[in-house]
Structure 1
């Protein structure tokens, strides 16, 4: 069986018009449009929570980008705080994006999550962005450059036996992943085009180039296949502008081609080609249920042929790849892929949503092999949000579980695969940071959070447990140090708030972490403080 149905769904979606609201979905009567400045904007979280109480128009929210976008409010329920209004003329405008400044402090070791370009090393780290966005008919753009700097104070590293820049290389996985322990011994500075794009929308087809962050799947804290844990990478794309009506429901689709950069902390850095196909479907009879599939592939850039630019047409079965690549082994050692299936089901009547992502990082030789061992290289995320309205306030409970571990005997003939790790410089990172879940290779995490949304903003907190590098523990640490060193596990308690101080939006978070056997070295506490200041897109009434 081949993946051509995914490609056919993509082509079909491009050829169909944008969908009108379903006849039986009368919960939301559009009232106004507001602007959201990507994943860092508190309004991004507000929009998803608002959908669960009927304040924001429903969206699949499975194929997301980190740049400027618009959301629709509903007439029946008001948002708890006034959001930035959309440009008055949606077809022709030029607007300033928020000037955004962030600062992060880590007391003992690096720690961060879904912070894009920023690498939050030990000490103080800072991030800044400012830009403009505009539209003229079918052509739209954003120019939103980013810069980040890290104090990068010294902390204890795991010795890897190397010298020079390579002494900062990941000690457990070496050249199989560009994921350094530390970005050098100095004060590194990072810059990027950020959430910038140039986009053409004609009928219901969008095409363009972008360096925006991307997010595939329904996860809120973690996404297995594509998240904002690293900076956005440069890519070209084509897809649907809006969900397309195919009578039995609606479909969104996107294809992209990107080029990845490596750091100097691997022996022979290259520039792999990343291709992705992602599709989601919302049934006509269940308009609040959205299902999706994503397939992401990395290939060595050298000697790419025309067919290599369209690998999503390949079979999912390794044995069928010999004819594709002209080789006898039925595999291509110069590529790596991740694939996932995901879904999100919202119940606004009860203020609830549940979501799931299930992924694999390896082909099977046959579908029979998949049936025998579907859990080979599997990873998954389970989550839910529940929102209760208490007068003008909303109370949101959120829980999420992510597991990237592979449980099998260490003597297994198939080994013990590790997520995001691959030879031939095909690891799943960009500029030394992960493209997938921020918790990292062989990790699992559990989070529970409680937040209150009101007129003055949002306040709440969360508890989180993360266990890291489990394959290293079972294959290296425990056999050589039985009973002496245990699992690398941390527990974090955090409080966070968003409030409005005159012309400035303020977001802050304070987190206390205790990590047992950090990198299998020793127990360490860490205090993480973060603050974001932003001039909003427009003054609230």
Structure 2
């Protein structure tokens, strides 16, 4: 059944806002989206030259419209994509129909893949169908983009350390990439269920990604960079609610896909409680360093019973806005007793449009230091990082060769030999930094390392290339090293209003499930079909 909140949103929209509906929705952070295309256009120097692209979804404005993006995406001779729009109230109000999308995925042997939003870790076929509308009148903007997911959720090979028996066919209605906002100038405030992507990473993010389903949150953010004499500023602050899957036999990504019941039993103190999350991201582009963005993000999450009903909390800010509190534990009274899970990172992205290239670095911590001395003496404690680069080469008019690579390192540093930090995303809460049992950050998994390389030829909406991935699964937590190597092709093609994107890959698993000499092969296929009215 659709949740009560989903029903209320449908009813609210249908009765009140059908008559007052516009042009400029956001670009959702979907598994296969236009984020990569926007990044490419920026490297060409053709689009959003003053944006850091480190806070997504991207919100359109009157100057930066969806139609202008569609025209830039099309190569010479190609018909641009279109959006169905209805005008009324003397052109004050508009109604735009969102594309209908069917995203499908298939794993032949075991669950594999990340950054697939509401899809679950499962073997077999699964698919998400989404559609909707975007509306705007005056400062009020509404995006209704519900989704439905179906997954075969077949039985796969288990080991002592990995996996749990699937629960059978999985079906669910979701609010999807929906939001209600008040927009004024460069500022937006509202309620959203959209996926967020924070940081400069192209294939992974330490803090926020589309690896898990979107979660309900309040947001206060910039719509475009705020220009000042010293540079450009962008930000987002959220407060939201993270939920676990109601079925305690569903797998947990931070526990090697073992089920909640298998890890904690049927009467765990974690069961039935939701997690509150407060997070913020802030970026700055100095006037004297054109193309360079530096930023900082921080999040606190914890079981609502522990962090919102804790008697040690005295103020609204300390309960609901801890991200604006002190940075070091020595200045946070009873911090550990509140069972907060904190993540923090600093990042840099440098864009060089003349060279059609970029470089980025993201360095984060799974736990905050005790004081300044602790941080200076041991900055690698609980640290992880992402480093990546991309280069575009124009072979001839409108034909580009893309080369990109990214390394994500989440394995504990050697410091763990004298000071155990635990794996990323798991402090205090049994289900960790997750929503619907899936990690909100880097999807390769807690404590894992990944390396990605891709090269592709692009011309407008046409694309063909190769994608290589290597993943080391939680090497610190098991004596046996489990590694997976994925190799395959990626592509995209447009047929009038239908845009098809795909990935076909083979995955070689060595010491599958952390079992010595157990080697297996998996085939993964993904297909996105989007129709633009």
Correspondence for 1:535: 531
Per-residue deviation, 1:85: 4.8
SS at 2:414's partner residue? coil
Correspondence for 2:285: 282
Per-residue deviation, 1:425: 3.4
User: Would you say the 8 A contact 1:253–1:279 is kept in 2?
Assistant: yes
Tell me the alpha carbon deviations over residues 390-428 of structure 1, each in whole angstroms, 9 at most, x when there is no partner: 22211110110000011336652x224211112343611
Correspondence for 1:63: 55
Correspondence for 2:509: 515
Per-residue deviation, 1:500: 1.2
Correspondence for 1:300: 303
Residues 1:91 and 1:355: Cα distance change in structure 2 (over 3 Å): farther
| Whole-angstrom distance in 2 between the partners of 1:75 and 1:144 | 20
Correspondence for 1:398: 404
Residue of 33, 37, 42 corresponding to 1:51: 42
SS at 1:471's partner residue? coil
SS at 1:519's partner residue? helix
Correspondence for 2:493: 499
Residue of 183, 197, 205 corresponding to 1:215: 197
| Whole-angstrom distance in 2 between the partners of 1:248 and 1:498 | 41
1:201 aligns with 2:193: no
Correspondence for 2:467: 462
User: Would you say the 8 A contact 1:120–1:150 is kept in 2?
Assistant: no
User: Would you say the 8 A contact 1:105–1:528 is kept in 2?
Assistant: yes
| Whole-angstrom distance in 2 between the partners of 1:186 and 1:290 | 46
TM-score, scaled relative to structure 2: 0.82
SS at 1:395's partner residue? strand
SS at 1:371's partner residue? helix
Correspondence for 1:318: 329
User: Would you say the 8 A contact 2:70–2:81 is kept in 1?
Assistant: no
Per-residue deviation, 1:308: 0.9
Per-residue deviation, 1:239: 2.2
Tell me the alpha carbon deviations over residues 360-386 of structure 1, each in whole angstroms, 9 at most, x when there is no partner: 010111110111110001110001110
Residues 1:279 and 1:83: Cα distance change in structure 2 (over 3 Å): farther
RMSD, aligned α-carbons: 2.6
How is 1:261-410 mapped onto 2 (pairs within 5 angstroms)?
261-263=243-245, 264=248, 265-266=259-260, 267=268, 268-269=270-271, 270-302=273-305, 303=309, 305=313, 306=316, 307-322=318-333, 327=334, 331-391=336-396, 392-408=398-414
SS at 2:304's partner residue? coil
Correspondence for 1:148: 149
Per-residue deviation, 1:502: 3.5
Per-residue deviation, 1:60: 0.9
Residue of 443, 447, 460 corresponding to 1:442: 447
Per-residue deviation, 1:39: 3.2
Per-residue deviation, 1:299: 2.2
Correspondence for 1:3: none
Per-residue deviation, 1:68: 7.8
TM-score, scaled relative to structure 1: 0.81
| Whole-angstrom distance in 2 between the partners of 1:108 and 1:488 | 16
Aligned length: 469
Tell me the alpha carbon deviations over residues 90-116 of structure 1, each in whole angstroms, 9 at most, x when there is no partner: 963211111111221111001122010
| Whole-angstrom distance in 2 between the partners of 1:498 and 1:457 | 5
| Whole-angstrom distance in 1 between the partners of 2:447 and 2:351 | 30
User: Would you say the 8 A contact 1:298–1:426 is kept in 2?
Assistant: no
Per-residue deviation, 1:66: 7.3
Tell me the alpha carbon deviations over residues 304-350 of structure 1, each in whole angstroms, 9 at most, x when there is no partner: 5522101012211111111xxxx4xx634411100011111111101
| Whole-angstrom distance in 2 between the partners of 1:215 and 1:190 | 23
Tell me the alpha carbon deviations over residues 10-51 of structure 1, each in whole angstroms, 9 at most, x when there is no partner: xxxxxxxxxxxxxxxxxxxxxx99984543454332111011
| Whole-angstrom distance in 2 between the partners of 1:125 and 1:292 | 37
User: Would you say the 8 A contact 2:280–2:298 is kept in 1?
Assistant: yes
1:84 aligns with 2:81: yes
Tell me the alpha carbon deviations over residues 262-285 of structure 1, each in whole angstroms, 9 at most, x when there is no partner: 132433322010000110111112
User: Would you say the 8 A contact 1:55–1:78 is kept in 2?
Assistant: no
1:139 aligns with 2:130: no
Residues 1:186 and 1:390: Cα distance change in structure 2 (over 3 Å): same
Residues 1:91 and 1:233: Cα distance change in structure 2 (over 3 Å): farther
Residues 1:120 and 1:459: Cα distance change in structure 2 (over 3 Å): farther
SS at 1:52's partner residue? helix
Residues 1:356 and 1:73: Cα distance change in structure 2 (over 3 Å): farther
How is 1:103-182 mapped onto 2 (pairs within 5 angstroms)?
103-159=104-160, 181-182=163-164
| Whole-angstrom distance in 2 between the partners of 1:515 and 1:143 | 40
Residues 1:192 and 1:251: Cα distance change in structure 2 (over 3 Å): same
Q: Which runs of 5+ in 1 are unaligned?
A: 1-31, 160-170, 173-180, 479-485
